[in-house]
Structure 1
């Protein structure tokens, strides 16, 4: 805090000019002090002054609330900063209260802003920027570049001003991760890392740039410029920002930072027995029934899935389809299709239970097809609207879960499926991007989207309150809504809809950057026309996450079935480790076209390592071996053991002095799961 009462995050004695105000706010009539693309250096942010603070100890951590006020507008900001003992995580939220006499029209509010990152001569030249592109079928594609290539030096001394730009990434519409992950970071040459995550299912944005020779980072929820978010704060009213977290580690680079972030994600989510049981899930959709289930088709799959070791069987899309024109634009009532299930859907659910599995169903609760009767019977206010018109996207309307009729409808559906039919698992999908949001009265579209998503999270939590054993899978056309607003409530996250077994490995390997391993649902879809190498490849990719088994298991040969059963047996032995292990990447985060891909989990004892070698298009470029850096085992004698596949044509040689493992896979398009156990000195 300086003499004027301004509060900034930084190290003791750090140059104040290199820091940024603790909270940055733009409001109509109160913009920025230096115009450009940056959302820092705001007039209100500069004026917010210290009014008091309090710190409380709770649950092994510390919570500090800093109170700030702007004397010109009467806006008060209550900044809550949370830390945990022994952790490098700082979680932030801001509560704004209008203590003035006139309404204030907010246009952007930072959740967390901090500067002074790697200050000093030459420091920015050593910074590397990391961010993740995301798309349907191509999730978690991490990229990196030198900070100075994205934030160029501009000879500030010659101009007297900072630049007007920054490096930014942001969401667009209602797919929170449809373009990028709300996770990014900076690393330096010394192994230090700054990693951040924004927890929003509606809009979000982060920016990083240069301020007085140091890097800064600012994290936001929705804003006017990118999300059509405006929020009028009347006197006495308050607004809460979305949460965000900063992870800072002194050594270990990105691996160490993602380890801290993984532990943090576990600490903020709703407790649920699924996080400890981690049952094997069979889902009939991917590369199998593809939304066309019937009793006749399901019963053989149910028997085969149970025999393979599955513990949950999910009937995916199509179970409600009894429409000659197709189900896509007719969904909403969620009643079973009689022609698909002549004996009734409960008969099939009973067969699932008879084979020792929990029955599950697919549901897309937030949409109503334009041809559904519900599109006419629910009140207009129960749907997303803009300009007074109901929004339509890809043959669907969108429910606004702030409306009691919309919520009552969905409560009735779930209570019937779970309470009456005994369904224990719901896959909640979301396959349209509805755009900026909904306008109810005078609210902006972005404010409507944020309001709906907060109501959606409350609705999901209420389902778990009423049905404590129910498991909810979060799916957004694969991984297009993969954020920790959702994942603090839902038990699992779909990582992709990718159907090509050779395109899935980089997604599976990088999934732990977006979601904890025990929440990361990874498809494994072996088929009777696959080679044994292909079956082992698709199964191996899922073994360090949550196995989402699929495929026509009922048509496999005994040898193929044995390979599937072996994978599930290995998974059940190692899964007790998943919920407390941290991820790491011994070849770095995977590239989309990489030949060699590796990711691992390290816990209290053993280290598990999944290694995949894809055959390059140019066979002459093939490399049958790869050397992986595993620094946490350097200096330790280790015994590599192949866990899967049981007949892997693979070798692994350990160099304890260098902390490196050389893995050989003579054939392309193969994979192996290894366990690395330290060997006792007297062994």
Structure 2
């Protein structure tokens, strides 16, 4: 067996080149010595087309007849990029697997035809990795509105891929563990992220699918081990197909791959990989504290009368940006009338500029909520724009929940959005947008003769291109990514956008597991956690709401203009604590001393670890007193927020920290831990 080894700064990939298709048989840390890699039988590429299916027939996307017939043609290594090309001789199909070095590796597939023949592709993998065994523990996360980042661990062998008797014919189990996301919410039900941990060796493999639309991954068994398959849309799951000709190639959605020795080291590697692939601009270094008037505050009903005193109070508390959320453009109900994005004259009798100017006078940057991809069915813009500007099926506009959906492949649709953003930036000096997305597209659009899934894929990619153009024109503009909370939390969007809203959850106790688990899916420096303390609540309730925002990007809200001096002092203290973490946030990596939190856990712990210090955030969500022990290396402890805490105590015993809360109600704390030197 001929081996091809290729390394990134952190990883070494091993490919098998022999008489059959190329196989990726090893993904290891560079620090590990070369050794015998498992001779797995799984091809690097799986591909199917009309007339070319599977053998044997299963629901899986492996054992494709075309994939089994691919043969190695050659490879090109530039040092930072590896390209491996294979060809299927009977059809002329060529597939190039591309690997791009980062902290981990980024990969995708490029398909083309070597002769004038055509193929109607129905599936093409972004990446398939051979595994030594399917005896692994999978960490994956369910995701839904106001209940995001619900991670769990399961045995793939026990729950999905049963061990069957292999004698005398040596059959392979045809079951799989599959996770699929449909429609335009890339994280509407599941996160496009996962980690598998080998149950027998200190080895973990982590991945993310970097697409703002449909995707699929699956784990299964092969004759000599197992496989992990990652892809974008498919025919079977997403009504996707595309015609491939000598003049028309196709590129899959990209994915990232990392390794570690256990769960937390794999998530730390994913954190480093996200930083490596993020398109960070100079303005992204600013990392401001943003106040937003929606959650637990104005709730989509802004007016001059309500906003002016709130702006004054927010400025006095020390926020950097002030974002006016939904409703600023609406005379009444704003759900199915959106699209013109002109300020309401009834909400702002003297014009929206009166409020914007007050924001600027306080030295804050102004922001606006915008849902750019939809037009309300009752909006005048719905009649002004042609059908060509919208996603359609059989010539009929796709309509969901009182909205039509723009097709960003359309020149008319993009001009409308470009004109809108340019006007708001030019007229009001807006420096921040909260881009929301509350309406699903369904399976896609067949406009232009495409399959539904491919029409949606082209729209998804056109949206990314529109964002790139927008940021090129307005380099000082910061944009928050929101989709009914975190329903589109992926690194196609987040490689470009500044901030991710991690939830629409309004109850601080329920926000705790969302905030604690978020760094498994999104960079801490992009994780916008709502902190919306409510005036009149107890000090512990008030503190708990603020703690939720500190281990990430504190996204402030609440009626600050009606709060007491003591409550405002607590907010200022929280902002001070948060800003001191911001100074090093983009170098910290997450760990979970109590494991990734479950939705109903009483105790939750998140540690953000750096070279010189760690920030440990602890939540206790039941009445106290209570005690918990964490497996941590001995360190010096300083209360970080609140700094005057006397109700929690901390005791070291060997490499374990015992924490006791004496409060009679739920409470939360942030600690700063610095290593101690042994005597």
State the TM-score, normalizing by the size of structure 2: 0.94
**Aligned mates of 2:167, 2:381 — CA distance in 1:** 64
2:125 is matched with 110
- Tell me the distance in 2 between the aligned counterparts of 1:589 and 1:485: 24
Secondary structure of the residue that 1:291 maps to in structure 2?
coil
Paired residue secondary structure (2:425): helix
Find the aligned partners of 2:254 and 2:627 in 1 and give their Cα distance: 44
Tell me the alpha carbon deviations over residues 537-577 of structure 1, each in whole angstroms, 9 at most, x when there is no partner. Answer: 01111101111100101111111111111100111122111
Instruction: Specify the alignment match of 1:121 in structure 2.
Output: none
Structure-2 residue corresponding to 1:267: 276
Match of 2:654 in 1: 657
- Give the corresponding residue for 1:331: 338
Structure 1 residues 650 and 56: alpha-carbon distance in aligned structure 2, compared to 1, 3 A threshold: farther
Q: Give yes or no for the alignment of 1:576 onto 2:583.
A: yes
TM-superposed CA distance for 1:211, in Å, is: 1.2
What SS does structure 2 have at the residue aligned with 1:181?
Answer: coil
- Provide the rounded CA distance (Å) in 1 between the counterparts of 2:473 and 2:320: 23
Question: Which of 229, 236, 246 is equivalent to 2:247?
Answer: 236
Q: CA deviation at 1:501?
A: 1.1
Asked if residue 54 in structure 1 is aligned to residue 64 in structure 2, the reply is no
Q: Cα deviation per residue 1:411-465 (whole Å; 9 max; x = unaligned)?
A: 0000011122100000000001120111112101111111011110111111110
Distance 2:581 2:182 in 1: 39
SS in 1 for 2:607: strand
How many residues are paired up? 653
Q: CA deviation at 1:135?
A: 0.5
> Could you tell me which of 140, 155, 160 is aligned with 2:170?
160
1:645 lines up with 2:639 in the alignment: no
Cα distance in 2 for partners of 1:299, 1:451 equals 43
CA deviations 1:236-277 (Å, max 9, x no partner) are 21111100011111x2x1111111111110111111235432
Counterpart in 2 of 1:184? 194
- Structure 1 residues 678 and 13: CA distance shift in structure 2, 3 A: closer
Partner of 2:86: 68
Residue 19 of structure 1: CA displacement? 3.0
Mapping of 1:280-679 within 5 angstroms? 280-323=289-332, 326-615=333-622, 624-630=626-632, 634=633, 637-653=634-650, 655=652, 657-658=654-655, 660-667=656-663, 668-679=665-676
- Segments of structure 1 that go 5 or more residues without pairing to the other structure are 119-123
Q: Offset at 1:154?
A: 1.5
Whether the 8 Å CA contact 2:535–2:559 is kept in 1: the answer is yes
SS in 1 for 2:327: coil
Given that 1:275 and 1:519 are in contact with CA atoms closer than 8 Å, whether structure 2 keeps it comes out as no
Q: Deviation of residue 307 (structure 1)?
A: 1.1
The answer to which of 521-530 and 188-197 deviates more is 188-197
Conserved 8 A contact 2:195-2:266 = no
Distance 1:437 1:649 in 2: 56
Q: Please give the per-residue CA displacement for 1:381-427, whole angstroms capped at 9, x wherever unaligned.
A: 11010122111100000000110000000000000111221000000
Contact preservation (8 Å) 1:280, 1:546: yes
CA–CA separation in structure 2 for the residues paired with 1:274 and 1:154: 56
Matched-pair contact (CA < 8 Å) for 1:608–1:676? yes
Deviation string, structure 1 residues 632-670 (Cα, Å, up to 9, x no partner): xx3xx5211111113324444353732x22222222310
**Deviation larger for 515-524 or 438-447:** 438-447
Cα distance in 2 for partners of 1:157, 1:429 equals 56
How far apart are the structure 2 equivalents of 1:67 and 1:623?
63
- Asked whether the 8 Å contact 1:639–1:678 carries over to 2, the reply is yes
Could you tell me which residue of structure 1 aligns to residue 232 of structure 2? 221
Question: Structure 1 CA distance, aligned partners of 2:678 and 2:196?
Answer: 39
In 2, the alpha carbon distance for the partners of 1:296 and 1:182 equals 43
Q: Classify the secondary structure of the residue corresponding to 1:459.
A: helix
Contact 2:291 / 2:322 at 8 angstroms: preserved in 1? yes
Partner SS for 2:584? helix
In structure 1, C-alpha distance between the alignment counterparts of 2:625 and 2:25, rounded to whole Å: 47
1:460-507 Cα deviation digits (max 9, x unpaired):
111110110100101000000000001011111110000111100000
Is the aligned partner of 1:79 residue 2:97? yes
Unaligned stretches of 5+ in structure 2? 1-15, 27-34
The equivalent residue for 2:8 is none
Distance 1:100 1:70, change over 3 A: same
State the 1:5 CA deviation. Answer: 4.7
| Partner Cα distance (1:656, 1:458) in 2 | 54
* In structure 2, C-alpha distance between the alignment counterparts of 1:220 and 1:652, rounded to whole Å: 48
The match for 1:149 among 138, 150, 158 is 158
TM-score by length of 1: 0.93
Shift of 1:535: 1.0
| Matches of 1:649 and 1:72, distance apart in 2 | 75
1:99: how far off?
1.8
Check conservation: 1:650, 1:672, Cα contact below 8 A: no
Contact 2:41–2:224 (CA<8 Å) still a contact in 1? no
Kept in 2, the 8 Å contact 1:391–1:397? The answer is yes
**Hey, what's the Cα distance between the residues in 1 that align with 2:21 and 2:36?**
15
Determine the C-alpha separation between the residues in 2 that align with 1:648 and 1:191: 39
